[in-house]
Amino acid sequence: MSKIIDLSAPLYDGAPGMAMDPKISISWHCTLETLGYNLSRLVTSLHQGTHMDAQRHFYNDGETIDKLPLEHCVVKAVRLDLTKKTPDTPITPEDLKPVEKYIDQGCSVLLHTGWDKKFPDPSFFSGFPYVSKELADWFVEKKITLVGMDIPTPNGYDWKYVHVKMLGQRIVIVEGLAQLEQLPPDTVFTFFSLPLKLEGRDGSPVRAIALLD
């Protein structure tokens, strides 16, 4: 029987986000005592917590999240252990050598730095190992479908270059993953990261899971 592993960070009222993003608010709209049923209201950035970027995030004429093919959101993937990377250092194509054979076979990759353990401390949003410009170019050359990561954004310095390069080639970027250590090493699994069908928008929170055969 297959095993399901939850790779999603929790969403809750007041959870921290990127400095310039709107703050998440989850509150009661009504309760059993007021209207006879419980119903909550959610106000959030579409890039809060575990989420997916669409092309529209960096291209005004780019593909929106509701147009993203679902085949790009359910993929075969492998986990790359990068937990020995020191803070604030680039992740390079050389670091990808242990999983290159899988990528050449069409697999996507989840970058496991262990940085998710810093959440919700404010230090989560800075100083993390990051996807270098060279690695973004390498992902494009490899025609990879999806890159997931347990950091809040691929690159805090060359953030525009990395996003534009990868999203421009329709590489799905999933940020803010959690608990990647639960995935076995050197093993291909099915990764699900399904966005909400938000018309004309630039991204979406996702419930990310891995299915182990």
Structure confidence by residue, pLDDT tens digits, 66-98: 999 999 999 999 999 999 999 999 999 999 999
Torsion, Cα 140 144 149 151, to 10 degrees, reads 10
Question: What is the CB-side half-sphere exposure of residue 139 using CA atoms within 13 A?
Answer: 32
**3-11+46-212: CATH homologous superfamily?**
Putative cyclase (3.50.30.50)
**Residue 51 binned pLDDT confidence (cut-offs 50, 70, 90):** very high
SS3 80: strand
Mean pLDDT of 100-109: 98
Q: Is the pLDDT reported for residue 213 higher than 90? A: no
Output the pTM of the full model: 0.96
Find where tokens 């990759």 sit.
109
Find where tokens 């076979």 sit.
105
